[in-house]
């Protein structure tokens, strides 16, 4: 009779009475469908832990906090550039009006009716309100920033075509039209 338990194998090269190396061998799983169970694989997908997800969310929040002010400033810069372009369109229309009538007009609706400026300028749906005034031997067109509790200011153009003015915000550099 063998004194070894059934799951232990005696190494034949070790004499009796010496300590034998024991190998724990479990019988194979012979249940139906056992051969279909997935084996761990380096290609198998694994789930993310809550800590990993939180770290990713914190990194995204920090990057967003750094990027949003720059994005808002770039957006306001583009709005100022559009306002300056609209002022240049008014300047061109006023010059054409002067060539035809030998006078400038303060009526932007009249320039629109003649097809000289875009209706969007007169409707003022872009965050700026446009107006024009006549002065001795010239005119001045103004684009005033509206619709923002944070930014204010105005841009002007005269008969020489020079755009001046700035859009200001508390604690930030002024925004002027043009490439910067």
DSSP symbol at 43:
T
Which whole number is the average pLDDT over 19-43? 61
The predicted model scores a pTM of 0.66
Which residue in 166, 128, 162, 170 sits closest to 145, CA to CA?
A: 128
DSSP symbol at 13:
T
- The residue ranges of every structural domain in the chain are 51-169
Q: Is the pLDDT of residue 93 over 90?
A: yes
Phi, psi dihedrals of residue 32, rounded to the nearest 5° = -65, 135
Q: Which of 46-60, 89-103, 114-128 has the lowest mean pLDDT?
A: 114-128
The pLDDT of residue 100: 92
Band (pLDDT 50/70/90 cuts) for residue 69 is: confident
Which residue in 125, 137, 143 sits closest to 87, CA to CA?
A: 143
C-beta neighbour count of 76 within 10 angstroms = 19
C-beta neighbour count of 59 within 10 angstroms = 10
Q: Which of 51-60, 117-126, 140-149 has the lowest mean pLDDT?
A: 117-126
Q: Is the pLDDT of residue 136 over 80?
A: yes
Band (pLDDT 50/70/90 cuts) for residue 41 is: low
Band (pLDDT 50/70/90 cuts) for residue 166 is: very high
Segments in 13-152 forming alpha helices (H): 50-101, 108-113, 119-123
The pLDDT of residue 147: 85
């Amino acid at each position: 009779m063998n004194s070894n338990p059934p799951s232990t194998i005696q190494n034949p090269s070790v004499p009796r009475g010496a300590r034998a190396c024991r190998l724990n061998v479990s019988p194979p799983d012979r249940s139906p469908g056992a051969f279909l169970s997935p084996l761990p694989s380096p290609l198998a997908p694994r789930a993310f832990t809550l800590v990993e997800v939180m770290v990713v969310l914190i990194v995204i929040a920090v990057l967003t906090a750094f990027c949003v002010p720059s994005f808002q400033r770039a957006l306001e810069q583009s709005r100022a550039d559009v306002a300056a372009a609209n002022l240049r369109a008014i300047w061109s229309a006023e010059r054409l009006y002067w060539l035809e009538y030998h006078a400038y007009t303060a009526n932007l609706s009249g320039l629109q009716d003649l097809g000289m400026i875009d209706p969007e300028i007169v409707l003022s749906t872009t965050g700026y309100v446009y107006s024009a005034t006549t002065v001795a031997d010239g005119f001045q067109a103004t684009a005033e920033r509206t619709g923002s509790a944070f930014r204010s200011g105005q841009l002007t153009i005269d008969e020489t075509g020079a755009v001046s003015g700035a859009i200001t915000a508390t604690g930030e550099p002024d925004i002027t039209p043009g490439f910067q």
